Amino acid sequence: MSTILLKQISFNSQIKDVLIEGNKIAEIADNIAVQADIVIDGKDRQLLPGFINMHTHASMTLVRGVEEDCPLQEWLEQIWKIESNMDEEMIYWGAKLAILEMFQSGTTSFLDMYWMVPQVMQAVEEMGIRANLSYVFLTHSDQAKAERQKRECMELYRASRNWCDRCDFSVAIHADYTVDEKTMIWASNFAKEHGLLLNTHIAETQAETQTDITNRGMSPVKYYDSLGILDENTVAAHCVWLSDEDVEILGKRKVNVVHNINSNLKLSSGYKFKYSELKAAGANICLGTDGAASSNNLDILETMKTSSLLQKAWRGDPKALPIDELMDLSSLNGANALNINAGKIEKGALADLIIVDTRSAAFVPNVDFEADLIFAANSSCIDSVICDGVLVMEHRRVKGEDEILDNVNRLAEKLLRTSK
Ligand SMILES: [Zn+2]
């Protein structure tokens, strides 16, 4: 079993030795005297649980910067047109670039919703990150497509039982405006039957929400609830446009709600995310970036800062979304949603950890580490990343980085050329 010993490293306002054995934190003590395979000096370093990005479309790194200054509907149509030309090689390298970027910004787990799941899984397996990959239903009203997708979903579920331990499978309903009702119910039942997460987009834009109210006589949240979909295994991205009743439903059903502030701002979808109301109602709130085509990066630290600033600004309340809660949103709440024993530095927890270099201007004077991290620093302060007990980024170097950059540049150029 491989071992990593972190010597005299700061975390939770203390300085300790932390021993990692295999993929878990084995011991935390004032002094651990063992011969470890790797020893890391904790001087000028802070240890944190790795961030958990609860809403990504990883391979969209290929279309970063392709559609700028564009409203959601127009943006979606353009992106869908380009995505229809993506092949397996593109999905694989796009996912690798996303994982590289996630390591460099301190993310150790992500929940993904995209096409060609086996290629994304291969990238996850090779790079050493932890992921939950959703097979996504997107049928519109095409029943032949729905039947084909159900078969693919079942096949993939069967195959997923042979995936590595770091990689889980889930089911996604793209949204209630892109999937027919019968398929939504089928996907939800399939997820419940097999104990899988059900991942979806809900109430991202005002127009989408208003259309449901006009056409179905109820909001998107009420519609999902009327179909019996919502529960503690549901992950609902966005939830920007919610009535008080919607908030109550999401809370009562203990839904995992993912706030993707940068994507929502960029596509002008809205920013009055009802964080404190959702929390009080009982929802589990997490953070996500969305795909790199809308949020441009996959940086949870940046998401933390923007989320906090926006809550404080639109509510006119500097106490809104305080730092300690923001830290939980970035990690522990995501771990709870994914049913993994991570998001904390405790004996027995998964060794999914990041090491922050505090020897820089942003961390001086050393008064409040978390405030410095969120409001003064940026993710270049993340020096090293341990995922599943393996040092996957050391002093900002990730294995295979140049190969990933070269391949994505080559494939993105090809994709855009063929999509013209
Ligand atoms: Zn999304």
Distance 64 CA to ligand 1 centre (A): 14
Name the percent of the chain in helix, strand, coil, to the closest 5.
45, 25, 35
- Sequential DSSP letters for 20-89: EETTEEEEEES------SEEEE-TTEEEEEPEEEEEE-GGGGGGTTSS-S--HHHHHHHHHHHHTT--HH
CA of 65 to the centre of ligand 1 (A): 16
Tell how far the Cα of 403 is from the centroid of ligand 1, in angstroms.
27
Please report the DSSP string for 140-196 in residue order.
Answer: BT-HHHHHHHHHHHHHHHHHHTTS-TTEEEEEEE--TTTB-HHHHHHHHHHHHHHT-
Nearest CA-CA partner of 74 in 321, 238, 268: 268
Look-up of token digits 């920013």:
271
| CA of 44 relative to ligand 1 center, distance in Å | 37
Distance 141 CA to ligand 1 centre (A): 21
How many angstroms is it from 202 CA to the middle of ligand 1?
A: 10
Residue 264 Cα, ligand 1 centroid: separation in angstroms?
10
The rounded Å distance from CA 56 to ligand 1 centre is 6
pLDDT score, position 71: 77
Q: Let me know: does 239 contact 202? Beta carbons within 8 Å.
A: yes
CA dist list (Å): 374 to 5, 11, 294, 322, 330 = 27, 15, 22, 11, 11
Taking the centre of ligand 1 as the mean of its atom positions, its distance from the CA of residue 237, in whole angstroms, is: 7
316 in helix, strand or coil?
coil
Element (H, E) at 134: strand 130-137
Q: Tally the C-alpha atoms within 13 A of residue 177's C-alpha that lie toward its C-beta.
A: 18
Distance 239 CA to ligand 1 centre (A): 11
- Which residue ranges does the chain devote to CATH 2.30.40.10? 3-49+345-395
Q: What is the per-residue burial (b if ≥16 Cβ within 10 Å, else e) of 301-322? A: bbbbbbbbebbeeeeeeeebbe
The whole model's pTM is what? 0.98
225 CA to middle of ligand 1, Å? 20
Has residue 72 got a pLDDT over 80? no
**Residue 267 clears pLDDT 80, i.e. is over it:** yes
Please compute the mean of the pLDDT values over residues 209-217 and round it to a whole number. Answer: 98
Residues of the chain with CATH 3.20.20.140: 51-338
SS3 201: strand
Give me the mean pLDDT over the 269-274 stretch.
97
Instruction: Share the mean pLDDT of the chain.
Output: 97
> How large is the C-alpha radius of gyration of the chain?
21
Cα(38) to ligand 1 centroid in Å equals: 38
Predicted confidence band of residue 249 (pLDDT cuts 50, 70, 90)? very high
Tell how far the Cα of 55 is from the centroid of ligand 1, in angstroms.
6
- Rounded-to-integer distance, Cα 51 and Cα 23, Å: 17
Q: Which strands make up the sheet holding 284-287, listed edge to edge?
A: 51-56, 107-113, 130-137, 167-173, 198-202, 234-238, 256-259, 284-287
pLDDT at 73 over 90: no
Based on the number of CB atoms within 10 Å of its own CB, is 21 exposed (0-12), middle (13-18) or buried (19 or more)?
middle
pLDDT band at 420 (very low <50, low <70, confident <90, very high): confident
Share of the chain above pLDDT 90, in %: 95
Per-residue confidence (pLDDT) for residue 77, from 0 to 100: 86
CATH of 3-49+345-395, one of 3.20.20.70, 3.40.50.150, 1.10.240.10, 2.30.40.10: 2.30.40.10
pLDDT digits (tens, 9 = 90+) for 334-367: 999 999 999 999 999 999 999 999 999 999 999 9
Q: What is the pLDDT of residue 375?
A: 98
**pLDDT given at position 76:** 82
Mean pLDDT of 272-290: 98
Please state the rounded mean pLDDT for residues 71-96: 91
Model pLDDT, residue 80: 86
* CA 257 to centroid of ligand 1, rounded, Å: 13
Q: Measure 146 CA to ligand 1 centroid, in angstroms.
A: 20
How close is the Cα of 120 to the center of ligand 1, in Å? 16
Ligand 1 center–CA 27 separation, angstroms:
38
> What are the structure tokens assigned to 43, written together?
């001087």
DSSP three-state, residue 247? helix
Res. 155 pLDDT band, cuts 50 70 90: very high
What whole-number distance in Å separates Cα of residue 297 and Cα of residue 346?
A: 30
State the pLDDT confidence band at 78, using cuts at 50, 70 and 90.
confident
Q: How far is the CA of 169 from the centre of ligand 1 (A)?
A: 17
Q: Tell me how far apart the alpha carbons of residues 220 and 239 are, in angstroms, rounded to a whole number.
A: 9
Q: Separation of 293 CA from ligand 1 center, angstroms?
A: 10
Q: Is the pLDDT of residue 123 over 90?
A: yes
Burial pattern 22-45, b for ≥16 Cβ within 10 A else e, equals: ebbbbebeeebeeebeeebebeeb
Nearest to 394 by CA among 130, 39, 125: 39
Predicted local distance difference test score (pLDDT) of residue 177 = 96
Alpha carbon of 292 to ligand 1 centroid (Å): 10
pLDDT at 120 over 90: yes
CATH architecture entry for 51-338: Alpha-Beta Barrel (3.20)
pLDDT given for residue 7 in this prediction: 98
